[in-house]
Amino acid sequence: MTVATSSYLDERSAAYVDAVVAATDAHAPVVEAFLVGSAAAGGFDPATSDLDLVVVVEEPPVDRAALVAAVAGLERPVRNLELVVYVEGAQPPDVELNVSDGEERPDEPRFWFLIDAALAQERAVPVAHGCAWGDLFEPITPERLREAMQESLEWSQAQPAGDEFARVNAVRARRYLEHGEWITKKEATP
**Residue 61 neighbours by CB distance under 10 Å:** 20
Beta-carbon contacts of residue 98 (< 8 Å; ≥ 6 apart): 83, 84, 85, 104, 105, 106, 108, 113
Cβ atoms 66, 35 nearer than 8 A: no
Tens-digit pLDDT profile for residues 59-85: 999 999 999 999 999 999 999 999 999
Do the Cβ atoms of 128 and 108 come closer than 8 Å? Answer: no
Comparing C-alpha atoms, which of 81, 70, 33, 83 is closest to residue 55? 33
> In the chain, what is the straight-line distance between the N-terminal and C-terminal CA atoms, in Å?
39
Nearest to 99 by CA among 80, 126, 124, 122: 80
Which residues 6+ apart lie within 8 Å of 149 measured at CB?
A: 111, 115, 173, 176, 177
Local confidence band at 4 (pLDDT 50, 70, 90 cut-offs): very low
86-127 pLDDT tens trace: 999 999 999 999 999 999 999 999 999 999 999 999 999 999
Q: With 0.85 as the threshold, say if the pTM is over it.
A: yes
CATH number of this structure's domain 11-138: 3.30.460
Q: Is-contact 72 102, C-beta < 8 A?
A: yes
CB 51 within 8 A of CB 7: no
Q: What's residue 1's pLDDT?
A: 45
pLDDT of 5 > 70? The answer is no
Q: What is the per-residue pLDDT across 122-165, written as a single tens digit (0 to 9) for each?
A: 999 999 999 999 999 999 999 999 999 999 999 999 999 999 99
